[in-house]
């Protein structure tokens, strides 16, 4: 495959994924605003996401890396023997359904006991509905990742879009019907159900049905998919624990209201990371395919450029986030959520390091370094748990944010080192570009800081943010990071 064809395919995939992620983020942001400002009190909002965090951990047993392992072998056999892909997909689905059944039965049978163990009896109705949440969210993830394995992220975008649109409508609808936080939870389940059904319908009619059949099934694939899922399960488990253990411990050690402050801060940071998540999802399989085609230099340049663009976007964005966090919460969400401000400010560092991780960690799976990545993430998850236990009783919700930043930074540093062993990456060049970008962020931050005293409402807040963005764009262009001709070319390719 030529370099031009590769770039074209990546741009088309990025357009689809970024468009879906923008829609998802917009819907999620609107939903977050409606729930916090109008529909749920901080205690109810915190209880809802406490339950979702508990079930996200339970869902680990239902996934166990099967989706990513299946996607990896789909991607490999697309290049060598398409006749085996039906067998690969069937095997992955079967493994996933068995695991979902086991976890669902455990949740249904012990929902009261789990709620009591977590010192929050109000979780019981959420956990009773937990099997449905686990089943449909697991199948939604499976469908999205299988399309990634086919290098058809348009369809992954479809799954995300259906989920986003349905989530906004169903969550708000159930709450307005008087079901409060449990109603919101039912909305999340319904949206996941619709998205997973849409995803599997496309998988069958667009892909599976059209694949060639064979009587010469490679029986070893069952064992290979299962074995490769183990390190992936460790990686995914470590990631989920890293992302959710803080909310679990805050709910256990503090209050649901404290969970709401932390959740609000975490979700705002995730909104900011949308472009990085889209880019990482699209380019990760390309590292493997380019290396397999003996195009190591091209894969390396792809990673270096992705890294530079991510840092160019997110170091200034994190700087601005620190400065505008307080007026944003005050004027947009409401005074009762000002407890989230220090969380957002600390997590601004998390935004930068996690964005780098988004273009790095999935690539390690496709480059065959899943075992090393799993060891790193598990170690990080353990460290994150220990730091949360130490920091939360002393520092409250801010302690959870500090623990997240410290452990994520360490994990990302090691992941970048590992991918540097697979690709020909110049760490010196990446570091030099980061220093220049930090200087741009400092100047932009000074402009925003000087304008903050004039913020008196949402219009003036938006004006200050726009001023910072304009300053960033001008300095990035003058500094040689943005070429107007390249921007024009990219826009022409994706429109």
Q: Residue 114 pLDDT > 80, yes or no?
A: yes
Distance CA 226, CA 211 (A): 22
Q: Domain residues for 264?
A: 3-494
Q: Residue 466 corresponds to which tokens in the numbers above?
A: 């726009």
Task: Tell me the C-alpha distance between 43 and 251, whole Å.
Answer: 11
Q: What is the pLDDT of residue 439?
A: 93
∠ at Cα 39 (248, 459), nearest 5°?
A: 100
Give the lowest-confidence range in 174-183, 244-253, 314-323, 356-365. Answer: 356-365
Mean of all residue pLDDT scores within the chain: 84
Instruction: Give the integer Cα–Cα distance in Å for 314 and 275.
Output: 10
Give the residue-averaged pLDDT of 295-313.
77
Q: Report pLDDT digits (tens) over 286-301.
A: 555 555 455 566 767 7
State mean pLDDT over 22-36.
81
The candidate with the shortest Cα–Cα distance to 368, out of 304, 300, 291, is 291
pLDDT at 28 over 60: yes
Percentage of the chain exceeding pLDDT 90: 38
The Cα 227–Cα 231 span in angstroms is 8
Backbone angles phi, psi at 456, to 5 degrees: -130, 0
pLDDT at 494 over 50: no
Locate 97 and state its tokens: 């359904």
Whole-structure pTM value = 0.76
User: Which has the higher per-residue pLDDT, 480 or 193?
Assistant: 193
Distances (CA, A) of 106 to 190, 344, 400: 21, 36, 29
For residue 136, what pLDDT is reported?
96
Most confident of 433-437, 448-452, 473-477, 489-493: 448-452
The torsion region of residue 396 among left (phi > 0), alpha (psi -120 to 50) and beta comes to left
| pLDDT at 14 (0 to 100) | 54
DSSP label at 213?
P
Output the pLDDT for position 296.
62
Question: For residue range 410-430, what is the model confidence (pLDDT) as tens digits?
Answer: 988 888 888 877 777 777 888
Comparing CA positions, the residue from 112, 100, 176 lying closest to residue 142 is: 100
Domain count, the chain: 1
With tokens 């840092």, the residue in question is 311
pLDDT of residue 495: 45
Confidence label for 308 from pLDDT (cuts 50, 70 and 90): confident
Q: Residue 237 pLDDT more than 80?
A: no
The predicted pLDDT at position 16 comes to: 57
Confidence band (pLDDT; 50, 70, 90) for 108? very high
Distance CA 19, CA 14 (A): 8
């Amino acid at each position: 495959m030529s370099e031009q064809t590769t770039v074209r395919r990546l741009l088309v995939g990025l357009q689809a994924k970024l468009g879906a992620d923008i829609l998802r983020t917009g819907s999620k942001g609107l939903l977050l605003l409606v729930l916090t400002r109008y529909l749920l009190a901080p205690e109810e909002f915190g209880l809802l996401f406490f339950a979702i965090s508990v079930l996200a951990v339970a869902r680990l047993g239902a996934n166990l890396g099967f989706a990513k392992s299946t996607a990896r072998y789909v991607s490999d056999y697309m290049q060598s023997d398409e006749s085996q892909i039906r067998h690969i997909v069937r095997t992955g689905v079967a493994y996933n359904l068995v695991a979902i059944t086991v976890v669902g039965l455990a949740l249904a049978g012990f929902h009261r006991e789990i709620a009591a163990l977590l010192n929050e009896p109000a979780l019981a109705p959420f956990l009773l509905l937990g099997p449905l949440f686990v089943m449909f969210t697991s199948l939604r993830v499976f469908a999205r990742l299988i399309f990634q394995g086919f290098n058809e992220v348009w369809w992954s975008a479809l799954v995300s879009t259906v989920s986003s649109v349905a989530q906004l409508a169903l969550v708000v609808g159930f709450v307005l019907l008087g079901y409060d936080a449990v109603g919101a939870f039912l909305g999340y389940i319904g949206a996941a159900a619709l998205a997973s059904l849409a995803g599997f319908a496309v998988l069958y009619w667009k892909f599976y049905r059209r694949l060639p059949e064979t009587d010469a099934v490679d029986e070893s694939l069952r064992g290979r998919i299962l074995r490769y899922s183990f390190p992936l399960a460790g990686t995914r488990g470590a990631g989920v624990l890293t992302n959710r253990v803080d909310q679990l411990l805050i709910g256990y050690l503090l209050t649901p209201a404290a969970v709401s402050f932390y959740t609000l801060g975490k979700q705002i940071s995730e909104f900011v990371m949308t472009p990085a998540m889209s880019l990482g999802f699209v380019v990760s399989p390309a590292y493997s395919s380019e290396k397999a085609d003996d195009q190591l230099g091209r894969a390396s340049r792809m990673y270096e450029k992705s890294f530079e663009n991510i840092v160019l976007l997110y170091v200034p964005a994190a700087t601005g986030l620190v400065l505008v966090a307080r007026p944003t919460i005050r004027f947009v969400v409401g005074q009762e959520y000002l407890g989230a401000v220090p969380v957002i400010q600390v997590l601004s560092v998390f935004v930068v390091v996690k964005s780098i991780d988004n273009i790095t960690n999935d690539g390690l799976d496709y480059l065959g370094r899943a075992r090393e990545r799993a060891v790193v993430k598990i170690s990080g998850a353990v460290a994150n748990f220990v730091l949360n236990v130490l920091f939360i009783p002393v520092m409250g919700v801010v302690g959870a944010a500090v623990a997240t930043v410290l452990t994520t930074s360490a994990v990302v540093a090691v992941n970048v080192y590992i991918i540097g062993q697979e690709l020909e990456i110049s760490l010196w060049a990446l570091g030099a570009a980061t220093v220049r970008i930090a200087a741009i962020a400092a100047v932009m931050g000074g402009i925003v800081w000087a304008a903050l005293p004039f913020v008196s409402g949402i219009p003036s807040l938006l004006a200050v943010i726009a001023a910072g963005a304009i300053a960033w764009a001008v300095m990035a262009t003058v500094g040689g990071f943005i070429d107007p001709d390249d921007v024009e070319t990219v826009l022409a390719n994706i429109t």
